[in-house]
A and B are shown apart, each in its own frame.
Chain A
Amino acid sequence: MTETNIGAPIKRVEDKRFLTGRGRYTDDLNQPNQLYACILRSPHAHANLKKVDVSQAKAAPGVIDIFTGSDMAADEVGSLPCGWQIHSKDGSPMHEPGHPPMAVTKVRHVGDQVAIVIAETKSQARDALDIIEVDYEVLPAAINMDEALSGKALVHDDVPNNMCFDWEIGDKEATENSFSDAHKVVSIELVNNRLIPNAMEPRAAVAQYDPSNGNYTLHTTTQNPHVIRLLMGAFVLQIPEHKLRIISHDVGGGFGSKIFHYAEEAILTWASAKVSQPIKWTAERSESFVTDAHGRDHETKAELALDKDGKFLGLRVSTKANIGAYLSTFGSSVPTYLYGTLLAGVYKTPAIYCEVKTVFTNTVPVDAYRGAGRPECTYLLERLVNKAAKETGIDPVEIRRINMIQPDQFPYQTPVALQYDVGDYPRAFETALKASDYEGFSSRRKSSEDNGKKRGIGISTYIEACGIAPSAVAGALGARAGLYESAQVRVHPTGSVTLYTGTHNHGQGHETTFAQIVSDTLGVSIDQVEVSHGDTGEVQFGMGTYGSRSLAVGGPAVLKACNKIIEKSKKIAAHILEASVDDIDFKDGVYSISGTDRELAFGEVSLAAYVPHNYPIEELEPGLDENAFYDPLNFSFPAGCHICEVEIDPETGEVEITDFTAVDDIGRVINPMIVEGQVQGGLAQGIGQALMEGCVYDNEGQLLTGSYMDYTMPRADNLPNLNVSTESVLGASNPLEVKGVGEVGSIGAPPAVINAILDALSSLGVEDISMPASPSKVWQAIHNAQ
C-alpha cells in the first residue's frame, strides 16, 4: 500500500479551497445582470387564498416583476412529484395530492410559497414583500396526527382523514401466533421527535435563461443534480434534459435535506425565463426552518413476545408517521421501506408485523434526514429490548447475546423482506463492551454516587440497510427511479485522469476517497486525479448522494470504469510491446510482459491512445475514456454497537455524557480519517436528537422552534470526545467490499443515550423519558417518580 492508496488516512484534497475561503457555494456565485428574489410565505398553517394583490408592490422601487401561484398555473406548471409510490394494506395506491410550487388556492403550512418578488437588489425585493396584500381566509388546521386522523380539518380536500396511506409489512398471522405462545409480553409507546436537519448552508439557487438558445441553467444547493434535472424538467416545467443544466458545486452540508426537489428551484427557473435575466435566491435561516423538509416524527406502539428464556418470539409494531402538508420527494419511502424492513435489527426474532399510518398535517413536509427511517426503527427496538431486559430480570447485555444473529447464520433472511448478506454482530458488540470498560462501570457508578450524582450506561446495537439500492428491488418496492450509479474515467493523453461521478460531495470527502480508488486501481499518483461532480453538463448521469450510497454504489462504478480502462489499455500495450494481451501484466501503473523486463508506463500507453501512430487501429478506437453504470447486488448492511455513559445531576436534571463508544462494522475502509469524521458527525446529530433537538408546533401550526434561539443545536461544549473505532467484516454486495458509514452515528446514538439516562435514573423509579431529554424533562421525571 502506498501512502495514498485504499486504506490510507490521506488528507483531503478538497480542504484547501474551503480553508482559504474559496469554496464555490451557490450563494457565492453571481451572474452578470443578476436580479434578486425574495419569497412571500404564508404566516398561516391553513388558509384559503382569497386574493393576492401585488399591484402596489410591483410599483415599488427596483421591483422588476412579481409572480404568484396563479401565474404559474396559467403556464401549466406541474406539481412537485413524489419519487416513491407506496400501496396501502388494501392494495390501493397512496394519495398523491397536488403540490404546486406556489400556492394557488390554499396555503397548507406556515412557510408555504405565496409570491415571488424579483428586484434589482435583495433589499428592494425584501421591502416589496411587505406591501403585497394577501387576503387569507383562515381555516382550522390539522397539526398533531390524532387530530389529523379524525378528519376534522382536511389538509387536502380529496384525502379522507388526512391518511396518505396505511401500509403493512410482515406476517400478521405468524406474529399473532407468536404472541399467543409467549411467556412474557413487553410493550412500549414512544415518540421519535421531529427534527430539523439544519445543514449550516441555507438553501440557495441562481437560475438563468438564455433566450438565444432556450437553455436554462440552475445552480442549486442539491445532493443530486441529475435527479433535480429529471424531476423538474420532466414533471414540473417540461424542459427537456438537453436544455436544462443543473449545477451544484460546493454544498454546505445536506444530511438528506438537500435531496429533494424544492419549490424554489422550479419557481426560479420558471421566472428566469419570464424576466430573461438571471435570478438569485438565498434562504434566510428563518425560511430554512419552515421550508427545508423536517425529519422523523413518529408515534409508535410496539410489543415484544418472549419465551421463558428471554428469546424473542415476535414483534408487533404500529406507527403513525407525520408526512407534513405535502408529499416530499422521498417522504413516503422513509416510514416504510427504510423503517419497517429493519425491524429485525441484529436479532433472530422469527415473526414480525408492522403497520404504518402516514398522515398529512399542516406542517412542513417530512422526509429523509440522516438515517431516515432506520433511526426510528433502532430507537424503538433498542428501547424495547432494554425494557424487556428489565421486565424479565435478564441483564441487558445477556438478553442481546441470547438473541443476536450468529456469524454462521449468513445469509440471514429476516421476516421483513431483507436478506442480510454478511456480518459478525457479536464481534462488534463484545469489542464495544471492552472498549467502554463495561465491566468497570459499577465502580464508576459508585464514585459518581459518592458525589451525589447518578450514573448510567446504555447500549444500543443497530443494523442499517444502505447502499441504496438494487434497482430491481427498489422498483418492486415502489421506487420510481433506478438507483444505480455512474462513473466516467477520462484518461488524458499524458496520463492524468479526470473522474466524473454521479454522486455528490457535500462534506463526505469523495474528491479524496474516489481519487484514492482511481489512484490505487490505475497506479497513477493521487495528484494526477481530479474528481468532478455536481454538474449535469459534465457528468453523464447520476443518482446522487444519500442513504450512505456513494461509496457502496458510486465506488464500484468508479472501479468498473477503471477496469474498462485497464482492459483497453492492456490491448494497446500488447500491440506496442508486440505481445499477446494475455501476457500483459498491469500493476502500479506499469504494463509489462510477464517474465520479462519489457514494460511501458501508464502515460506512454495513454499517449499512444491519443496519438495512435503505433496503434491497433483496426481493432480499437483511439482514446482512453470509459464510462460505467453499476447497479448493486443487494443493500449493504453496516451494523455495530454504541455504548453511552452519562452522569446526571439529580438537582438540576443536567445530563453529561462522560463517555461515548462506537464500534461499527462498515466493511472495507478507504480512508480511516474520513470514516472517523463521518461517525463523529453522525453521533453528534444522534446525541442532539436524544438530548437537545426537537421541533415544536403550537396548536395553530406556528413553528415555535423556528430559530437557533429555540431549536437547540449541539454546540462544542455540549458534546464529549467520541471514542470511535471500526470492527469490519468486508462487504459482500459490491466489489469494493464497502458498506457505508454516513448514517451510522445518527442511527445508533439516540437509544444508547436514552438507555443510559434510564439506567442512571432507574434507582429513582424513573421508567420512561422522551427525547429530547432536556434538563427540565429529566428533572421533572425525577420529581414525578418520587
Chain B
Amino acid sequence: MEMSGEYRIEASRQTVWDALNDPEILKQSIPGCEEIERLSDTELAAKVVAKVGPVKAKFAGQVTLSDLDPPNSYRISGEGKGGAAGFAKGGANVSLKSDGEATILSYEVDATVGGKLAQLGARLIDGTAKKMAGDFFKNFAEVVTESKDLNSTENLNDADTNKVNHDINASKRPKIGVGSWIIGLIVAAAVILAIIVY
C-alpha cells in the first residue's frame, strides 16, 4: 500500500522535538504501544498491539532511520513480525517544516503486509492506518497538554509555546538525546507499524 499525509502540530519544531524525546509520552501516544526501546542512535524497537478489522496482532517491530537531514527530513524503514498474524515491512519518508509557530510534518509511506494481515486486512489498511496516525496525533497533543497543565507553574523554556492552544512543553522532561529520528517514530509507530500491524 501507499499513503501519505500531513499533520500540523501546534508547537515549534524544537518543542515537538523535545516532547518526542520522552519515551513515556510516545508510549502513551502510540495507540496500543506497550514498549519502546532505543537500540542505537538510528535504531528503535517497539511493541504494539493493534487490531484491524478481525485481526489482532502483537507486533514486534524494529525501525531504522536513514538519509538523515536534521531537522528537515529522514527515511524510516521498518520490518516487523506479527506472529501468526503475518508480517509487515515498509518505509516512510518524513519531513518537517516550520509554519509560523507550528510544525508541519508530512510523510509518505510505502508498506507491504503478508499473511493474515494481508488476507483479512488489505481493504482496511488505509482506513486503519489513517485512524491510527490520527489517534497518535490526538493522543500526543492531549498527553502533552495534560503534562503542561500539570506543570503549569513551571517555567517554560520556550516562550512561544505559551501562545498557542496545544502547546507542548516537554522541557521539564529529562533529555534522553534520542535525536530527531524520534519524529520518524511517530510515523514508524503510528503509520508504518500501525498500518502494518493492524
Chain A interface residues toward B at CB < 8 A:
38, 40-44, 110, 126, 129-132, 286, 289-290, 698, 700, 702-704, 706-707, 709-710
CA distance A44 to B88 in the complex (A): 11
Chain B contact residues, CB within 8 Å of chain A: 53-54, 57-58, 83-87, 112-120, 122-123
Is B120 a contact of A704 with CB atoms below 8 Å?
A: no
Q: A702-B113, A709-B53, A709-B123 are in contact. Are A40 and B84 (CB under 8 A)?
A: yes
**B120:A130 contact, CB within 8 angstroms:** no
Contact assessment for B114 and A110 in the assembled complex, using a CB-CB cutoff below 8 Å: yes
* CB proximity of B52 to chain A, nearest CB, Å: 12
Would you call B120 and A702 a contact (CB within 8 A)? Answer: no
With A43-B86, A129-B84 known to touch, is A704 a contact of B116 (CB < 8 Å)? Answer: no
Contact, CB under 8 Å: A704 / B53: no
Q: Which residue of chain A has its CB nearest to the CB of B53?
A: A709
Once the chains bind, are B119 and A698 in contact (CB under 8 Å)?
no
Nearest residue, chain B, Cβ from A709: B123
> Are the CB atoms of B84 and A709 closer together than 8 Å?
no
List the B side residues contacting A709 at CB < 8 Å. Answer: 53, 120, 123
Q: Shortest 4 CB-CB distances between A and B: which pairs?
A: A43-B115, A706-B119, A130-B83, A702-B118
Contacts of B123 in A (CB 8 A): 709-710
Least distance between B23 CB and chain A CB atoms (Å)? 24
Closest beta carbon of chain B to A632's beta carbon, Å: 42
Partner of B115 from the list A38, A110, A130, A710 (CB cut-off 8 Å) is A110
Q: Which of chain A's residues have a CB closer than 8 A to the CB of B58?
A: 130
Closest to B120 in A: A707
Q: B118 touching A704 by the CB < 8 A rule?
A: yes
Which of A40, A44, A700, A702 makes the CB contact (< 8 A) with B119?
A702
Contact A131 to B83, CB < 8 A, known contacts A700-B112, A702-B113, A709-B53: yes
Closest A-chain residue to B83, C-beta based? A130
| Interchain CA distance A129-B112 in the complex, whole Å | 22
B114/A702 in contact, CB under 8 A: yes
Whether A703 touches B84, Cβ cut-off 8 Å, given contacts A43-B114, A110-B114, is no
Task: Please list 6 pairs of residues, one from A and one from B, whose beta carbons are closer than 8 Å in the complex, sorted by A's number.
Answer: A40-B84, A43-B116, A43-B118, A110-B114, A286-B54, A706-B120
- Distance (whole angstroms) from the CB of A314 to the closest CB of chain B: 44
Q: Please tell me which one of the listed residues B83, B84, B115, B119 contacts residue A707 in the complex, with CB atoms under 8 A apart.
A: B119
A286 — which chain B residues lie within 8 A by C-beta? 54, 116, 119-120
In the assembled complex, the Cα of A38 lies from the Cα of B57 at a distance in Å of 16
B83 adjacent to A289 (CB under 8 Å): no
CB distance from B188 to the nearest CB of A (A): 20
Which chain B positions have C-beta within 8 A of A290? 119
What chain B residues lie within 8 Å of A129 (beta carbons)? Answer: 83-84
- Distance in angstroms between the alpha carbons of A290 and B117 in the assembled complex: 13
- Whether A41 lies near B119 (C-beta < 8 A) is no
Give the distance to chain B from A294, nearest Cβ to Cβ, in Å: 14
Q: Which of B57, B85, B116 has the most CB of A within 10 A?
A: B116
* Cα-based distance from A126 to B122 in the complex (angstroms): 22
By a CB distance below 8 angstroms, the chain A residues around B87 are 43-44
Whether the pair B118, A706 counts as a contact (CB closer than 8 A) is yes
In the complex, the answer to whether A110 meets B83 with C-beta atoms within 8 Å is no
Closest residue on chain B to residue A117 by CB atoms:
B84
Bound-complex Cα distance A471 to B103 (A): 78
* A702→B113 CA distance, assembly (Å): 8
Chain B residue nearest to A287 in the complex (CB): B116
In Å, the complex CA distance between A126 and B115 comes to 15
Residue in chain B with minimal CB distance to A43: B115
Least CB distance, A24 to chain B, in whole angstroms: 28
- Nearest-neighbour CB distance to chain A for B118, whole angstroms, equals 4
